[in-house]
Structure formats: C-alpha cells, structure tokens
Structure 1
Amino acid sequence: MTDVATPDWQLPAALEPAVVRHAWRVTEPLHGMIYFVPEAHERYAALGLMGRAGYFASRAAALGPVGPAPVVATFFNFSPDLVTRALPAAWERTTPAAVLAARLEAAGAALTRALGDTIRGPEMIEAAELARRAAESSTAHSEGRPLFAAHAALPWPEQPHLILWQAQTVLREFRGDGHVAALVLAGLSGLEALVLHAASGEVPVSFLRRSRGWSEEQWADAVERLRGRGLIEGDEPVLSDSGRAQREWIEAATDRLATPAYTVLGADGCARLAALTRPMSRAVVAAGLLNVDNAVSTSG
C-alpha cells in the first residue's frame, strides 16, 4: 500500500509523532476511566439516564441537545440504532448543562478515590498546567474537529485534578477527530474500522460488537466486505498484509494529526507531562477504574 502519510506537499511535523503518542497514551487513563466508573453511572442515573443513555448524553452534551445524527457522525463507530435509543430522549429528562456538571463531579470523585492526596500535590498542579497549555493551544487547529471544538469551548474548572481531567478530555477528542478523518480517508465505515480492529487481535470481537451495538449479521456483512477488499483473511478473520499496511497508515496519520496540540510543549514538555502522569495513571488502573466489566450494557 502506498505510504501517503507524509507526501511532499505536507509540512513536516513540528514534533516527532511518537513523542506525542507517548504523552497522550500515558495520560489517557485519567480521562478514559470516566466511561467505566460507578461514580459516573450513578450520577447519570440520578438525572434519569440509564445504561447507554448516560454515555451518549455525557459525551455529546458539549454539542448541546442534539439528536442522533451528529453523534453517529462524530462518535463514528456506534450502531445508529443504539444511538437513536438514547438521543434525543435524554434531553426530555435533563439538560446538557446538568449532564456536564454530573460528569465533571463524577470525574472528581473517581480521581479522588484513586489518587487520594495526590490530587492536591505539586505534581498534579504541574501536570494540569502542562495539559491545559496543550489543550488551549490546540484551539488554533479546530477546523474539521467538531467534537473537540465543542469540548474545548467548555469553561475550565478550578481544581488542578479537574483541570487535568478536562484538558485530557479535550486532547482526547482532538486526537479522536483526527482519527476519524484518517478512517474516512482510508474509505472505512465505523463498523468496518471495528472489524479491522478486531482482526488485529488487540480487542475481542465480542466486546467491540456488544459495546457498539452491532448485530451478528451486520458484523458478518462487514467482514465479507473487507475480505472482498483483501484487508482480512482466514476463517477466523485476521489482517492480511494489505490490512496491516492500512492499519499502520491510519495510526501514523492519526499520530501526525495529533501533533499540533502538543507543539506548544515541545519534546521536553511532552516527556515531562508523561513522567508526571504515569504514576497517576497507574494508580487509576490499580484502583480498578478502567475495569471493562463496569461498562454499561448496550441494552440501556
């Protein structure tokens, strides 16, 4: 497959993409835990949002009281039927402002549970300052990144651990919008991207299909489409050479598209952010905040 990640007409990346990927990956558990922790599920339920309604409403709330179409487009790989069961019905029970407040409160409670006194320490203050600098600077590159832009426009909390959480949320959506752009350019639908992910062996098919709400028939149809394109092979589908090349290109493009958010930090700042957040992220994992068994059912 032709490598078009860095064509001649494209400016060289201001930072080595691997440096940016490392800073994001090390810090990501501090944001990602919000999709699993009971603190979030309980607060959404108190607003009348059960099951998946809490997830879709909380992540989409920055966009306002939207219906399913913008969420299907920006979240990219969820079954439209699953999204339609949650939105816009969620906004008949509560408001985007109330959901955003509940999400931030849940993030604070969960991080406090995992990190204890660390939330008030100098390392947290420094990490929050670095991540916020990156998040704020990334607003100069908001074109084509709707979910990022909506989150970047939210007001900043005052406490350092909440600033860090919100900054990583903004950076996560910046990277995510770029990843969607790479998938679209590769000619993949959201479901096809999931099938390729499963074929890589990194995540079980059962989890990806169940969590994104696709039927066995829909999944099987996507498998056959990708098999016809020569991207997967075998009875238990695995990536072909072409499939691996495409996956590598997508990841390289995603890394490249994420670099503008971190340019303000430079390589040293990225390394420092990772060094500060590594023990925090490990504590989050050790406390069980990323336990996938705590993910809500798609039946909600």
Structure 2
Amino acid sequence: MKTARAAWRRLEPVHGMIYFVPEARRRYADLGLRGRAGYFASRSAAFGRASAELVISTFYNFNPDFVRQAVDGAWDAASPHQVLDARYAAVGEALRRAGIHELPNLNEVLALTRRAAEAACEHPQGRPLFAAHAALPWPDDPVLQLWHAQTLLREFRGDGHVACLLSEGVGGLEALVLHAATGEVPVGLLKSSRAWPEEEWADTEERLRERGLLDGDSLSSDGVLLRQHIEDRTDLLTLPAYGVLGDADCERLAELASPFGRAVVEAGLLKLG
C-alpha cells in the first residue's frame, strides 16, 4: 500500500494543478463561467448536466448553499461538452507551460499510470465520480492522456475516501475540521474554499471534542487513530488500480513521477491567485 500511495502522491500535482491555473479560469470565463462555477462545472461535467445536489453528494465537503449558488445557471451558460473541451485545453496549455511534454520518461510514466487507471476502470461500482470520468474517451495527446489517467486515479481514490468517511460517521464538514486539526493545510484555506459559515464550523469543532476526536484545536489521540485508519482504508481501496502494477512497478512509477510533480510545483501551477 505504501508504494501505491507514493506513486499516486508524487504524480498528483499533474492532476491537481487544473484547480489553480489561470489557463482554466480564462477558458471557463470565456464560456460565461466565473468564480467557483468553473470549478464545479468542469469537475462534474462528466456527469452531463449535473444538478447541484449531485455535486453536493459526490464532492462531499462543500457547503451545500455555496454549491447551489455556484452551479445555478452554469449549464445555461455552457454545455458539459463545451466545459470538458475547455478543461482539456487548459490542461494542455498549463502542463506544457511546466514543460511536462519535454521530460524524459514521459512514455514510461504514461504507460504505468494508464495501466493502473485502466485496471481501475474494471471496478466502477460504488464510485460515481470516478465512473463518470472513466466513461470519457481517452485523449490522443500523450500529455492529456497522462492527465486523464491521473484524474481517473484521483477520483477513484477520492470516491473510496468518501466511502471510508461515511462508514466511520464522518461528515463533510467534520472531515474538513479534522483535516484542519492536523496542521497540514491552513485552516483559513479550508474555510474559504469550502465556504462553511463560521458558526457551523465552530459547532462542528465542539461536536468533535465531545466525540473525543479533538483536544482543543488539535487532534486527540483518538482523532489521530481515526484519521490514520481512514487513510489506511483509503489506501487499501486503491489496490484494484495499483495492484496490477505490483510493488516493483509502483516503486518505478513513484521514482519516475517525482520530476513530473516537481515540474508542476516549480512552474507555480499550484499557486492560488
């Protein structure tokens, strides 16, 4: 499981940059999608004309009122097909800006990542966001193929993570508060990006303290154990994808993926703004 997680994490910036780059904001704005409407529409477009309720259920940890406001009218401005085309165009522009297309070992990284993604496609049950993306055609461009493969693996893992949270009775806002308590991500970023009212955030903190999962603003020992359990279970649920590679090829992918993730970071593709 550790080698699979390393392979996913080191390549994840190649997928994750699409939520930050100006190329995406510009492409969505050209379609009439501004602010967070572009994010919600582009990630849910694989469903078709996704309702706000579908986005709320599958994205899991956003304030529902925020989602409804952002999604309202999105499909009147642009069709899902137009949004998907804009997303892929932005991906190609941004990743080329980072020089991904010029990196050695692109073909091998793509081959390994695609093998894992195609193995995941044999297990869509219970993974709605993944399944919607898995039904999309593979792009012809190798750079876009790599992004699509990593997107499938990200959504495959994400759907499994939501299943683990649900099984442990951890709701969307509770998951955010527990994440904030680790100190890994600034609490202000989590609050602003997910748009939960301060009062609801504070009430959730208090409930988690009553459950013994928070000690002040930090995780309690039970909270640490719960989060680790959820992460371990999430890793286990990715094995239908990465198991086809085996430990040796997962280690190889993790090794080769590092320059790709680093190129994205060094090009500033993950910066807010």
Q: Does 1:95 align with 2:79?
A: yes
2:126 to 144, 148, 153: 144
- Conserved 8 A contact 1:198-1:204: yes
1:206 to 188, 193, 200: 188
TM-score (norm 2): 0.98
Q: Does 1:56 align with 2:36?
A: no
Q: Does 1:78 align with 2:48?
A: no
- Conserved 8 A contact 2:61-2:171: yes
Counterpart amino acid of residue 260 in structure 1: P
The 3-state SS of whatever aligns with 1:70 is helix
- Conserved 8 A contact 1:125-1:161: no
The 3-state SS of whatever aligns with 1:28 is helix
Counterpart amino acid of residue 233 in structure 2: A
Name the residue aligned to 1:257: 237
Name the residue aligned to 2:256: 276
Once superposed, what is the RMSD of the aligned Cα atoms? 1.1
1:267 to 216, 231, 247: 247
Q: Does 1:39 align with 2:23?
A: yes
The 3-state SS of whatever aligns with 1:273 is helix
Q: Does 1:289 align with 2:273?
A: no
Q: Does 1:245 align with 2:225?
A: yes
Name the residue aligned to 1:171: 153
Calculate percent identity across the aligned residue pairs. 59
Q: Does 1:22 align with 2:2?
A: no
Q: Could you list the per-position Cα deviations for residues 48-105 of structure 1 after superposition, in whole angstroms to 9, with x for gaps in the alignment?
A: 0001000000000001101111111110000001110122410010011110111011
Shift of 1:260: 1.1
Aligned partners of 2:54, 2:72: CA distance in 1, in Å? 11
Shift of 1:173: 0.1
Counterpart amino acid of residue 180 in structure 1: V
Shift of 1:139: 1.4
Counterpart amino acid of residue 99 in structure 1: V
- Conserved 8 A contact 2:112-2:253: yes
Structure 1 ranges of 4+ moved more than 3 A: none
Aligned partners of 1:23, 1:165: CA distance in 2, in Å? 14
How many residues get paired? 273
Aligned partners of 2:79, 2:31: CA distance in 1, in Å? 9
Shift of 1:19: 1.0
Q: Which runs of no fewer than 5 residues in structure 1 stay unpaired?
A: 1-16, 295-300
Q: Which runs of no fewer than 5 residues in structure 2 stay unpaired?
A: none
Q: Does 1:183 align with 2:178?
A: no
Q: Could you list the per-position Cα deviations for residues 99-155 of structure 1 after superposition, in whole angstroms to 9, with x for gaps in the alignment?
A: 01110110110000011xx51565112211211111111112111000000011100
Which segment drifts farther, 118-127 or 166-175?
118-127
- Conserved 8 A contact 2:56-2:67: yes
- Conserved 8 A contact 1:76-1:190: yes
- Conserved 8 A contact 1:65-1:88: no
The 3-state SS of whatever aligns with 2:238 is helix
Aligned partners of 2:104, 2:270: CA distance in 1, in Å? 25
Aligned partners of 1:266, 1:144: CA distance in 2, in Å? 24
Name the residue aligned to 1:8: none
- Conserved 8 A contact 1:52-1:86: yes
Counterpart amino acid of residue 110 in structure 2: A
Shift of 1:26: 0.4
Which segment drifts farther, 83-92 or 185-194?
83-92
Name the residue aligned to 1:110: 94
Aligned partners of 2:112, 2:4: CA distance in 1, in Å? 13
